[in-house]
Amino acid sequence: MSEAPAAPLSASADRAREQGIDLLLRPPEPRAGWRLLPARIAAMCAVELQKLRHDRTELYTRAVQPALWLLIFGQTFTRLKAIPTGGVPYIDYLAPGIIAQSAMFIAIFYGIHIIWERDAGVLNKLLVTPTPRSALITGKAFAAGVKSVIQAVVVIVIAALLGVALTWNPLRLLGVAAIVVLGSAFFACLSMTIAGIVLSRDRLMGFGQAITMPLFFGSNALYPLDVMPGWLQAVSRVNPLSYEVDALRGLLLGTPAHLALDFAVLIVAAALGITAASALLGRLAR
Amino acid sequence: MTTTADAVTCTQLAYAFGETKAVDGLDLTVREGEVFGLLGPNGAGKTTAIRCITTLLPVPSGMVRVFGHDAAGERMGVRRLLGYVPQQLSADANLTGRENVSLFARVFDVPRRERAARVSQALAAVDLTGAADRLAGTYSGGMVRRLELAQALVSAPRLLILDEPTIGLDPIARTSVWEHITAVRAATGMTVLVTTHYMDEADQYCDRVGLMHHGRVRALGTPAELRRGLGERRGAAATDPLPTLEDVFRDVAGSGLDDQSGDFRDVRSTRRTAQRVG
Ligand SMILES: Nc1ncnc2c1ncn2[C@@H]1O[C@H](COP(=O)(O)OP(=O)(O)O)[C@@H](O)[C@H]1O
Ligand SMILES: [Mg+2]
């Protein structure tokens, strides 16, 4: 029989009610297993949106680069007609590539962010909550996706202002959002995986710079696969960014694309990324 | 039949970082409902022990139980019982106080319909209602600590674990943090495990303390017991002032404290005068 704690507990319950903190006596019911993951994803996405609401400067500063790409590179090469785009103006051809690029730049930052959270103690605190490591990583991956979608909207608006003929079909735009989320989830996990390997912010910064440009230039974001030399085609074929760009082109411009393959590759890439980053998260916590 | 399990039991817990034996055979029992202070100088292994108890580190050797749950085998179960405030000030500066607490309500599965009320109660319990909608980046150190206390409280933990909650705070903020810990404990009846290297705080606010040195607990008891015990061992007269907890610590740590980068300012200054002949 365990009657001993009953007295002090009910006494403190009275005190708690007086102080208006009675809810803090009752632990919340654990969520059933399958509802845990969506709940954690929602929590991480909510944090991302709250941060964006408090400070939108990043949204604007990150709009400068894509705007320049479209304005300068896009307009110049549209006139030069140097790149075979299958009939669409080059700036139109470029716009989906730039959307994918700016989404990737945002996602790649998540590795640095998680190291910063580790150094600040925020990560440790989250790891002492009923959140499996894979759920934490998936939550962050989707948060990167949400932020990237918002950035994509900005780039789409810029592109539209520059006269790019994009679709306004809501179903296709939904597909665009899904592709951007999947692509960003992969790149966020890629950088969180590298974070779990190199463990320090400085080394990760070096890595980030060393991989983002090759990922971008080694994809079909700027030019079609067929004009690349053989070795670059090979790189581009294993680069998830190419599949993201292909899908975005298909959805936004209506050019021929391999949507099913693109979705499949991005889903598998994101799943692999989540697995790798979750496995390495423990190293960051030590 | 069932006796209530102790809040924390560590049996021969050991953890090494490479060659450094941070925790080296720790035996520790925290009883339900008490405020237990784990004391020791910097490098004693307090944080490492805490990180094993909170499931942040694995338990490579020995055993850790939290209310009977194995910290190595039942991690999720253990985490649901814990509120944890780490050594660093670790609120998210880019969120408001309320959003910071709300995040922890979400990740502890507080249902949406009671989330707002619960978050408000947690903020009220640490007197941050007025500052709740300001960004945490604008808070003072003491306010951040109280915010972290609210983050830990929102899930109604049975065991609150605080690692050096007053480190780096000014004396007024230190007192305020301790008063909130004490008040919340009185109101909720939760168990508190706290580490500190401020002996005076432990003496004043802890029911029982364990003095930790080189990865092990060297003395255990209520502050009064430990101080009286040392007084008796020294054969002090009843009229003499009782030794302080620092005296007790110096006594149990022995000469080992010298080669340690121990950080009791008082201990060091007294020792410096006493033993400059190295
Ligand atoms: N992540 C780590 N890697 C290597 N050594 C560590 C690490 N964390 C702590 N240590 C070492 O373990 C010992 C105990 O540290 P710690 O548990 O932080 O002590 P305390 O919290 O009592 O100050 C120290 O010698 C410290 O240098
Ligand atoms: Mg410590």
pLDDT digits (tens, 9 = 90+) for B223-261: 999 888 888 888 767 677 788 888 888 888 775 554 444
Confidence band of B3 (pLDDT split at 50, 70, 90): low
The residue to mutate among B10, B13, B15, B17, having the most atoms of ligand 1 within 8 angstroms of its beta carbon, is B17
| CB count in 10 Å sphere of residue B155 | 26
A95 within domain boundaries:
yes
Range of the domain at A110: 35-285
Chain A, window 65-124: residues with a beta carbon less than 8 angstroms from a chain B beta carbon: 120-122, 124
**Which of B35, B47, B52, B103 would best serve as a mutation to test chain A binding (most A beta carbons within 10 A)?**
B103
A73 within domain boundaries:
yes
Interface predicted TM-score (ipTM) of this complex, two decimals: 0.89
Q: Residue B42 carries which DSSP code?
A: T
User: Mean per-residue pLDDT for A243-262?
Assistant: 95
Q: Which CATH class is domain B6-277?
A: alpha beta
Cβ–ligand 1 distance for B44 under 6 Å, the answer yes
Which residues sit opposite A15 in a β-bridge?
A: none
Cβ–ligand 1 distance for B45 under 6 Å, the answer yes
Alpha carbon distances (Å) from A64 to A8, A24, A89, A155: 62, 47, 22, 9
Q: Residue A71 carries which DSSP code?
A: I
Exposed, middle or buried: residue B217 (CB in 10 Å: 0-12, 13-18, 19+)? buried
In chain A, the number of structural domains is 1
Find, in chain A, the residue whose alpha carbon is nearest to that of B118.
Answer: A23
User: Mean per-residue pLDDT for B116-133?
Assistant: 96
**Which of B17, B57, B59, B106 would best serve as a mutation to test chain A binding (most A beta carbons within 10 A)?**
B106
A177-223 pLDDT, tens digit per residue, is 999 999 999 999 999 999 999 999 889 988 888 899 999 999 999 99
The residue to mutate among B13, B15, B19, B20, having the most atoms of ligand 1 within 8 angstroms of its beta carbon, is B20
Chain A residues with CB under 8 Å of B156 CB are: 23-28
pLDDT of residue A135: 95
Distance, in Å, from the CA atom of A28 to the CA atom of B117, rounded to the nearest integer, reads 13
Cβ–ligand 1 distance for B52 under 6 Å, the answer no
The encoded tokens of residue B247 equal: 């005296």
Nearest-atom number in ligand 1 for the CA of B164 is 21
* Cβ-defined contact of B92 to A47 (cutoff 8 Å): yes
Rounded to two decimals, the pTM is 0.89
